[in-house]
Amino acid sequence: MAQEERERIIIPDENGDEHLFEVLFTFDNEQNGNSYMVLIAAGDEEGEGEEVDVHAFRYEDKAEDDLNLFPIETDEEWDMVEEMLNTFSEQEENE
């Protein structure tokens, strides 16, 4: 089965260097009203038994091509993101 094309975004680091990421998934949390985005570096492929660095951010979608990303700072938010990532991973394995 062919893998569907993921959305890609460019995120500059603290030195101004741009890095390309693929969006694994986004989700909204109704309890806190925030939106979250889970990413991997473009080119990092999830292989059988291989670990891939996953990055997560809280985000605000200001305009069509204008995202504001914010670091996840609380343990509660990290726990929620990890739970969503586990669900996503299980769904990917079942497909």
Domain ranges (residues) in the chain: 8-94
Choose between 4 and 76: higher pLDDT. Answer: 76
Cα-based angle 82, 88, 91 (whole degrees, multiple of 5): 145
**Which pTM was predicted?**
0.80
Choose between 16 and 63: higher pLDDT. Answer: 16
Kindly state the average pLDDT of the residues 53-71: 86
Choose the weakest-confidence range: 16-25, 31-40, 44-53.
Answer: 44-53
Alpha-carbon gap, residue 15 to 33, rounded angstroms: 31
Where b means 16+ CB within 10 Å and e means fewer, 51-87 reads eeebbbbbbeeeeeeeeeeeebeeeebeebbeebeee
